[in-house]
Amino acid sequence: MIKDLSIFFKKETLVMGGLGFSAGLPIMLVFSTLSVWLVKAGVERSTVTLFSWAGFAYSFKFLWSPIVDKFRLPILNQYGHRRSWLFFSQILIIISILLASLSDPQKNLSFMAISIVLIAFSSATQDIIIDAFRIESAPEKKQGPLASMYLAGYRVAMIVSGAGSLWLASHFSGSVYQLEVWKNVYQIISLFMLIGLISTFFAKEPLMLKKNNIKNFEQIKFTVSTVSSIVIFFIVYLSIPAINELNYFLSFLLNLVKILLSFMSSLFFLFIMEKINFLPKKQSREIFIGPILDFFSRYKKIALFMLLLIGLYRIADVVMGVMANIFYLEKGYEIKDIATYSKFFGLIATIIGGFLGGAFSMKLGTYKSLLIGAIAAALTNLLFALLAVIEKDLLYLAMIIIADNLASGFAGAAFVVYLSSLTSIKFTATQYALFSSLMLFVPKLLAGYSGSIVDFIGYPNFFIFTAILGIPVIFLILSLKKIKLKFYTH
């Protein structure tokens, strides 16, 4: 038993914990902590929840994952392919957090939005590399400890940037909003990214990297084409006007259509670049299309069901989570209470849930663990409906937050194991980025409307609604398990 536990104290495992910390630190600065800052600054609830759309950087990271996966950075390449990209993304995160600290949401919300999107983009790029680094650094049987330490580091960082930042803000400003305090908080949190830089310095470059036969000039052409396709995506999206008179459902459908049209425009641009021979056809297909074809060739008819499960599995958690801090504040809880119960004890519960999810996945199998996580996530959302109708009570708050975070941690760990099992070592970064991007696309799109939904139906019905969103996921897991059994028996 002691020998089994010793693997958690080996250098590569500890390094993965540090990289997990580096991955988890920016998340709260984009979502949870940011929402508290904006609410305290007097920004409207519906506008605050729209900031969650910065999370689309995580949803569309597969667009630039081929660059990260295939191309070398000329300046930092002495540290190895993966490590050079890690250094680059971590430096970008530090710069973007410092830019956010210079924002004033009461005077220039646009500048804050740009800096938050930059944090999300840099963080999503780092995620691409760390996921590939983890999968390539050890064989499948040793992935469990690496994944556990990664998740543990990730959650500890969320405590630092979540509970830590709120504690600092509460200590220095109390209940009174002071811009300088929030600026200082973001600057202090940026210093903790040094843990990521130190971990990258001591990390060992994976030996399982694929040989890169793409010449430097062709790398530049691929990079220019990919960046241009991303720019075209946003140009098309912003060019399609919003229709304010639509109800919430039709507005959701309109934005979905806008995103799909924007994505198709990006793909069409890449197609044109290939047709005019700016992109070599064989290599562009290998980079952009190869990972997708590989997935469908391995899983055939059940591939679409798997992608549907990936796209919907975290929907109940994500849609509810965007409103959590706003709900606590409007319910009358103090920032220090949120920091203590939600960002500290809650995230400790998430870490415990993560280890339980990993253990259950090994003992019961992936699908049973996914099912338990989906049921728990839906049921704990109902507890928030109860919290919304009872009087303010710190004990109930603590109990419900701990239960919700245990469920979230369990589901998250089971899902990481599931996604890792689907990834081919030939397309590590690109495929995992595609899976994790798909995981966040629909939930983040719907989460952007959560503030408006609460305005329309109120908090109790909103939390019940998020629990109902988890029901199709439960049936999908049960159906997919049966379909997979039939697929392999035939």
Q: What is the pLDDT of residues 282-297, one digit of tens each?
A: 767 777 677 888 888 8
Residue 99 scores a pLDDT above 90: yes
| Total number of residues shown for the chain | 490
> Where is the domain boundary, 252, 279, 306?
279
321 occurs within a structural domain: yes
- Provide the domain limits for residue 257: 213-279
Judge if 217 and 206 occupy the same domain: no
| Mean pLDDT for all residues in the chain | 81
Say how far apart CA 45 and CA 149 lie, in whole Å. Answer: 36
**Which pLDDT value is given to residue 490?**
44
Both structure tokens of 36: 């508290």
Judge if 434 and 409 occupy the same domain: yes
pLDDT band at 489 (very low <50, low <70, confident <90, very high): very low
**Which pLDDT value is given to residue 98?**
95
User: In 374-391, which positions are buried (b, 16+ CB within 10 angstroms) versus exposed (e)?
Assistant: bbbbbebbbbbbebbeee
Judge if 221 and 155 occupy the same domain: no
Contact 171, 463 (CB under 8 A): no
457 occurs within a structural domain: yes
219 occurs within a structural domain: yes
3 occurs within a structural domain: no
> Where is the domain boundary, 249, 264, 279?
279
Judge if 151 and 286 occupy the same domain: yes
Contact 132, 420 (CB under 8 A): no
> Where is the domain boundary, 260, 279, 298?
279
**Which pLDDT value is given to residue 455?**
83
Number of domains in the chain: 2
Judge if 206 and 231 occupy the same domain: no
Say how far apart CA 70 and CA 131 lie, in whole Å. Answer: 15
Both structure tokens of 399: 């109990």
SS3 329: helix
Radius of gyration of the chain measured on its C-alpha atoms: 22
22 occurs within a structural domain: yes
470 occurs within a structural domain: yes
Say how far apart CA 135 and CA 16 lie, in whole Å. Answer: 11
Judge if 274 and 171 occupy the same domain: no
H-only helix segments in 276-345? 281-284, 290-299, 303-312, 315-331, 335-337
pLDDT band at 191 (very low <50, low <70, confident <90, very high): very high
Judge if 353 and 368 occupy the same domain: yes
Judge if 131 and 221 occupy the same domain: no
Say how far apart CA 427 and CA 357 lie, in whole Å. Answer: 26
Q: What is the pTM of this model?
A: 0.72
Q: How far is CA 87 from CA 83, 115, 191, 202, in A?
A: 6, 20, 15, 12
Residue 8 scores a pLDDT above 70: no
Residue 2 scores a pLDDT above 50: no
Judge if 112 and 76 occupy the same domain: yes
1 occurs within a structural domain: no
Give 399-422 pLDDT, tens digit per residue: 988 998 899 888 888 888 788 778
Angle made by CA atoms 86, 57, 41, in degrees to the nearest 5: 105
pLDDT band at 89 (very low <50, low <70, confident <90, very high): very high
**Which pLDDT value is given to residue 343?**
65
Say how far apart CA 113 and CA 121 lie, in whole Å. Answer: 12
**Which pLDDT value is given to residue 3?**
44
Q: Which of 121-130, 313-322, 361-370 has the lowest mean pLDDT?
A: 361-370
Please name the residues in contact with 359: beta carbons below 8 A apart, sequence gap of 6 or more.
none
Contact 54, 120 (CB under 8 A): yes
Judge if 252 and 152 occupy the same domain: no
CATH of residue 403's domain is 1.20.1250.20
2 occurs within a structural domain: no
Residue for token pair 């691929």:
222
Judge if 245 and 330 occupy the same domain: no
Both structure tokens of 192: 């903790």
H-only helix segments in 335-470? 335-337, 346-364, 366-389, 394-422, 428-447, 450-469
Judge if 315 and 382 occupy the same domain: yes
Residue 433 scores a pLDDT above 50: yes
Residue 7 scores a pLDDT above 60: no
Residue 485 scores a pLDDT above 60: no
pLDDT band at 372 (very low <50, low <70, confident <90, very high): very high
